[in-house]
Structure 1
Amino acid sequence: MDPNNNKNYQIAYSDPAVSFLTENKNSITMDVLQKNCPDSAAIKIFQELNPTLIVPLLQKNHLSGILFLGERFYFDAETGIDYTEYEKNLVLSIGSLAAIAINNATLIERSSTDMMTQLKLKYFFFNVLTEKLDNAMSEKKPLSVIMFDIDFFKHFNDTYGHECGDYVLKQVAFLIKQNLREEDLASRYGGEEFTVLLNETTKDAAIAVAERIRSCIENHDFVFNNQHMHVTISCGVAVFDHESNPVTIAKQLVNQADQGLYMSKHNGRNRVTYAPPSLVSLDDEESK
C-alpha cells in the first residue's frame, strides 16, 4: 500500500461504504466491501490503496476514520486465509482504541479553538507562550509577540450588521494565518483583537511580519453583500531578549505588545509599533 501524499482520499459521509462499515462494525476485506456496496464511489479510492483488511474506527456508533492494512508478511498458503477471525477481532480492538484517541484529540482541538475564526483561543495561546518563553529563557533565544486590533470595528457592525462583523473577523483571521509560518501560533485574543506568537524571531523579523500582515489586510478587497469595505488593523510588537528584555512571565510580554498596539491607535491607527521594554515595568507586572 503506497498512498499518494498529494492526493485527497476524503470520502463523503453519505457514501454507502461509510454506512456499511458503521453498521457492520467488523473488519472486512475488499471483496466483502465491493459485494455489499457496488454503488460506492469510495470503492475506487479503496482499490488504489490495495488493502488486505479494512478496519472501521468507531466511537459511539460514529465512524471517525478507516484503518487500511497493507500486504501482510505472513500468509497461510494451505488455507488461503489472510487473517483469522481472532486476528480480525484483535485488529478491530486496536481500531477501537485508535477511534477513542481520535475522538479525544478532536475534543481537545474543539475546546481550544475559536469556532468562528478557527484560530486558537486566548487560554491556549498563553499556555503555549509560557512554554515557549521558558525555552527561550533557557536557550537565550528571541521570542516575539504581535497584538492586532481591527480599526473601527464597531463601524462594520453598526453599518452593515453583526453578520458583516463576523465576516470581517473571519477574513482578518484567515489573512493573519496565511502570512505566518506553520510553526507560528495565532489566536483570537478576544473581540476584534488577535495575538501571534513568533518563536525564535528577532525584533526586525517580527516587525516585518506584522507589517506584512497589516499591509495585506489594508490592500485586501473585503466584499460583503456586494459592499466593498476598507479594513485596516493596528499592531503592537514585543520581543523577549535575555539581555535587553528578560521578561519571565508570558503576560508581561503580551502587555508590552498591548502597549505598542495602544501607541499605534494613539498615533493614527493602521500602523505597526514596536514596544520598548520600558513601556511596562517588570517589577510592576510581577507584583500584580
Structure 2
Amino acid sequence: MLYSSALLVLLKSVKGFHLQSSEDTILFLLSFIASIIIGFMIINAGKGRHIEFSDAIIGFLMLNLGVETTTVFSAINSIINGIISERAVVYQSDKSKKYFNTAMFTVIAYVVGTIARQLLRYISFSQKYFMFSLAYSVIFIGLYLIFNALIVKIEYTLSTGKNFKFSSESIKLLIINFVVSSMLTATLYIINETSGILGSILVAGDLIILHYCFFIYRKLQVRNEAIKALIDITGNIVKYGDFRDKCKHLIITLKDLIPYNICAMYTFEIEDDDITYPIVYNGPKDIDIGELSIDLSNEGTTLKTVKEGKIYISRDIKRDRKINITGRLAEYCSAMIFVPIKSGDKIVGLMMLGGGQDLIEFSNNEVYDIFNILSNQMALAIENDSFYNNIKNKADRDYLTKLFNRRVLERELDILLKTKTPFSLVIYDIDDFKVTNDTYGHLAGDEVLKMISEVILKSIRKTDVPCRFGGEEIVIIFKDLSKEDAYIISERIRQNIETTPVHIGSESIYITVSGGVSSYPDDGDTKDKIIGAADNILYSECKRKGKNRVCAVSVRGSKNTLMSHA
C-alpha cells in the first residue's frame, strides 16, 4: 500500500515537474548539492543527537518551485543518500529499509507541501512579504518534522515490536530543529526574492558551513564523553586483583561505553606461540573459546593486519579483504575493531571487538584516541604482570619442563577455592611413558616431557597455570573458564602433541597423551575432589578405552559425551 501510494505520488509529481527558467534550474541543482553535502555529514554523524538543516532546503524549494518539483527532489535526494551511506559502509545495506524511507519521504513531502499550501489559502497576504514566507515555513517545517517523527516511531515499532518513546533531549532537539529550520526557510526565500540566485548561493554556503560546525561539535562531544568514561573505567582497573581479573572487569565495563556484541582480550608472543585463546571474552553463550582462537603459526589475512600494529576498523567484514572472519563469529558481527597492544615495538596482545550497526556508528566519532588509551593502559598492565611473573618464575618453575611446580598448583587452587572463582582443569598422563623410557632410555623420556611442555606453553593463554603434577602427569588450571571451553583447548593440545615428533638421535618418535577435565564448582568443592574427578575420568574413560583422547566429567560425576578419539 505504501509503495503503491509513493509510486502514484512520484508519477504525478514527475508529470508536474517543471523548471520555468535557468534560475530555477540553478536553484534546484544548488539545493541538491547542499542537501547531499548535509546528508553526508548526517550519515557520518550516525543516529546520535545532532541538529540538521536539510528540512530548511525542502521548505525553501516548496516556496520557490512548488509541491511536485520538490517531491521529485525529495525522492532523488533520499535515493542518493541511501547509495552514499552504502558506499561509505556507514550503514549496513538494508534494502527494504531504504525503500521504506524513500517511499515515506516522497509521500510526506507531497502531503505536507499540499496541506501547507491549502492552509495558506485562508490567510490573506502577498507572497512578497516576510509574513507569508514565515507562516508557510512554520506550517511546513512543523508538519514535516511531526511526520518524520512518526516515521521513526513506526520504523522502530515494526523492527522491534516495542513502543518507541522520545526522550526529553530528543524533544528538545526537535524544537530547536523546528525553530532554526523555520527561520532558515523564510530567510532563504526572502534573500532569493530580494538578491536573486547569487544571494541564495551565499546563504546556501553559509548553511553548509553552519551545519558542518554542528557536525564537528557533535563528533567532539561524543569523543570527549567517551574519553572521560574511559578514564573512569581504566582508573578502576587498579582496584582489581590479578591480570585476568583486570581484563575481565575492563571488557564488562566497556560494554557501557562501546556497543559491542563480542569482546575478547588476548596476550601472546607472536614469535613463540602457535595459537592464542582470549584471556577473557564477553559475548553470546553459543560462541565458544575455540571460535575465538587465533592461529599464530599460520600467517593468515587477519593476523597480517594485526601484525601491522595499527588500530584497524572493518565496517563490513564480509567485503573487507584485510580480514577473514568465518563461522558463528561472522553471524554475530558485521563490523569488527582490532586494537593491537604494543610494548615498545613489540605486539604483546590484542583487543578484538565485534558488533553491528551501533558499533559502526560508534567508530565514526573519531575514536582512535579512545582505543589508543585502551591499548596503552593494557600494555602497561601486561608489562607489570610480566615483571611480577618473572620474579616468581625462577623459584616456581620445574627445571626440566619449565612448567610450574606442584607447590604453585596447590597455591593457585587454594586461592581460587577461597575466592570462589570458577575454574576448570585438565590432567594429562603420557600414554605408555614407561615403554618409551625402557625402549629409548630416560634421556629420551626427558625429551618427551620437554616436547609436551613446549606444545602446552604455546597453546594456552597467559593466565592459565600449567604445572608438572608428577612424573608423567601435567595439570593445567584454566581460570574462569567453563568445562566446555577447557575441553576445547585440552583437545587441541592433545592433537598438537600427537602430531609433533620427538627426535631421538636419528629416529623420530610420536607420543600421545590422555586427559581428564573437571571444573569447580560442578565437580567438587575441594582440591582433592576436583583433581580426583579429573583423574577418575582420565583412567575410566581414556586409559581403559584406547588412550589418546580427552574426556570431561559431567555434573556430579556421570560420564560426559565430550570425548575425543585418535
Q: Tell me the SS of whatever aligns to 1:198.
A: strand
For residue 228 of structure 1, the aligned residue among 497, 502, 508 is 508
* CA–CA separation in structure 1 for the residues paired with 2:435 and 2:507: 14
For residue 259 of structure 1, the aligned residue among 532, 536, 543 is 536
Consecutive unaligned residues of structure 2, counting only runs of 5 or more, are 1-342, 348-386, 559-566
Q: Tell me the SS of whatever aligns to 1:115.
A: coil
- Answer whether contact 1:234 1:269 (CA < 8 A) is retained: yes
Identity %: 30
Figure out how many residues of one structure are paired with residues of the other and give that number. 174
Q: Tell me the SS of whatever aligns to 1:111.
A: helix
- Answer whether contact 1:145 1:197 (CA < 8 A) is retained: yes
Q: Which residue of 2 aligns with 1:207?
A: 487
| 1:51-96 deviation digits (Å, cap 9, x = unpaired) | xxxxxxxxxxxxxxxxxxxxxxxxxxxxxxxxxxxxxxxxxxxxxx
* CA–CA separation in structure 1 for the residues paired with 2:555 and 2:535: 12
- Does 2:434 align with 1:154? yes
* Map 1:262-273 → 2, pairs under 5 A: 262-263=539-540, 264-273=542-551
* CA–CA separation in structure 2 for the residues paired with 1:224 and 1:248: 43
* CA–CA separation in structure 2 for the residues paired with 1:253 and 1:218: 26
| 1:92-133 deviation digits (Å, cap 9, x = unpaired) | xxxxxxxxxx9xx85x53332110001111121111112123
Measured after TM superposition, the shift of residue 275 of structure 1 is 1.9
Measured after TM superposition, the shift of residue 232 of structure 1 is 0.2
* Map 1:104-123 → 2, pairs under 5 A: 109-123=393-407
* CA–CA separation in structure 2 for the residues paired with 1:198 and 1:121: 16
Q: Which has the larger radius of gyration?
A: 2
For residue 128 of structure 1, the aligned residue among 412, 419, 423 is 412
Q: Which residue of 1 aligns with 2:246?
A: none
| 1:158-185 deviation digits (Å, cap 9, x = unpaired) | 1111111100001101111211000000
* Map 1:17-28 → 2, pairs under 5 A: none
- Does 2:477 align with 1:197? yes
Q: Tell me the SS of whatever aligns to 1:120.
A: coil
- Answer whether contact 1:146 1:197 (CA < 8 A) is retained: yes
Q: Give the RMSD, CA atoms, in angstroms.
A: 2.2
Q: Which residue of 1 aligns with 2:236?
A: none
- Answer whether contact 1:235 1:273 (CA < 8 A) is retained: yes
- Does 2:177 align with 1:177? no
- Answer whether contact 1:119 1:188 (CA < 8 A) is retained: yes
Read off the aligned partner of 1:256 and give its amino acid letter: A
- Answer whether contact 1:260 1:275 (CA < 8 A) is retained: yes
Measured after TM superposition, the shift of residue 277 of structure 1 is 4.6
Read off the aligned partner of 2:513 and give its amino acid letter: I
- Answer whether contact 1:156 1:164 (CA < 8 A) is retained: yes
Q: Tell me the SS of whatever aligns to 1:228.
A: strand
- Does 2:552 align with 1:274? yes
* CA–CA separation in structure 1 for the residues paired with 2:474 and 2:460: 13
* CA–CA separation in structure 1 for the residues paired with 2:506 and 2:428: 26
Q: Tell me the SS of whatever aligns to 1:173.
A: helix
Consecutive unaligned residues of structure 1, counting only runs of 5 or more, are 8-101, 281-288
Read off the aligned partner of 2:547 and give its amino acid letter: R
Measured after TM superposition, the shift of residue 5 of structure 1 is 4.9
- Answer whether contact 1:259 1:279 (CA < 8 A) is retained: no
Read off the aligned partner of 1:278 and give its amino acid letter: R
Q: Tell me the SS of whatever aligns to 2:469.
A: strand
For residue 6 of structure 1, the aligned residue among 318, 327, 346 is 346
- Answer whether contact 1:256 1:277 (CA < 8 A) is retained: no
* Map 1:92-103 → 2, pairs under 5 A: none
- Answer whether contact 2:416 2:422 (CA < 8 A) is retained: no
Question: More strand by proportion, 1 or 2?
Answer: 1
Read off the aligned partner of 1:270 and give its amino acid letter: N
Measured after TM superposition, the shift of residue 212 of structure 1 is 0.4
- Answer whether contact 1:256 1:276 (CA < 8 A) is retained: no
Q: Tell me the SS of whatever aligns to 1:114.
A: coil
1:6–1:266 CA distance, 2 compared to 1 (3 A): same
Read off the aligned partner of 1:254 and give its amino acid letter: I
Q: TM-score w.r.t. structure 2 length?
A: 0.29
RCO higher in structure (CA 8 A, sep ≥6): 1
1:5–1:154 CA distance, 2 compared to 1 (3 A): same
Q: Which residue of 1 aligns with 2:76?
A: none
* CA–CA separation in structure 1 for the residues paired with 2:458 and 2:346: 20
Q: Tell me the SS of whatever aligns to 1:129.
A: helix
Q: TM-score w.r.t. structure 1 length?
A: 0.56
| 1:10-43 deviation digits (Å, cap 9, x = unpaired) | xxxxxxxxxxxxxxxxxxxxxxxxxxxxxxxxxx
